[in-house]
Amino acid sequence: MTDFHDLIVNRRSIRKYTADEVSAEDVKTLMEAALMAPTSKSSRPWQFVLVEDSAKLEALSKCKEHGAGPIAGCALAIIVAADVEKSDPWIEDASIAATYIQLQAADLGLGSCWIQVRGRYTVNDLESETYVQNLLEMPDTIVPVCIITIGRKAEERKPQAVEKLQWEKVHIGTWTER
């Protein structure tokens, strides 16, 4: 990428990955980005669980009824969670860290996809958060927000269409309908 704008124009959700592993150096770089994400009052409530085991990735792909399939095919899943007792904007803090991971992945030439966990349910109506907590033996106070899939891209997607941006959603000074 040449600059940040180029990075965000070209970063797209990738749901298909090659069988190639993600290098230890890239994993470290991804986690450095996550651990440098800003948080409210520097509370750093986030926690991360990294999963590379194919059987566990397959099990994680069952964390919700629809949309979690990419987990089974990725090289690395990063469960982004937060300690709900550490900060009241824990959801926001974890979300920022997840976004940092995705932007860092794009800069490294890796694909990623946000898999929503919070507020979702398994095919058996179990809360997705509880399913992930149980599978990964997480404490009740550490709540998964999302799972970021990471891997070498097995698909290419077109860049964002800058000419199709919805500028009518930008309001200056006050709310105005356009």
pLDDT at 1 (0 to 100): 54
- Decide if 174 is inside a domain: no
- Decide if 123 is inside a domain: yes
Burial of residue 80, with CB atoms counted within 10 A of its CB: 0-12 exposed, 13-18 middle, 19 or more buried: buried
Q: At what angle do helices 90-107 and 24-35 cross, to 10 degrees?
A: 140
- Decide if 176 is inside a domain: no
- Decide if 177 is inside a domain: no
- Decide if 134 is inside a domain: yes
Using the CB atoms, write b or e for 54-74: b if 16+ within 10 Å: eeebebbbbbbeeebebbbbb
Q: How many residues does the chain have?
A: 178
Report the CATH number that the domain containing residue 141 is assigned in CATH: 3.40.109.10
* Band of residue 178 on the pLDDT scale cut at 50, 70, 90: low
Q: Note the pLDDT tens digit of each residue in 143-153.
A: 999 999 999 99
- Decide if 132 is inside a domain: yes
Domain encompassing residue 109: 4-169
- Decide if 47 is inside a domain: yes
Other Cβ atoms less than 10 A from the Cβ of 172: the count is 6
Q: What is the pTM of this model?
A: 0.95
The runs of H, that is alpha helices, within 85-141 are: 90-107, 128-136
- Domains in the chain, number: 1
* Band of residue 177 on the pLDDT scale cut at 50, 70, 90: confident
- Decide if 175 is inside a domain: no
Q: Note the pLDDT tens digit of each residue in 20-39.
A: 999 999 999 999 999 999 99
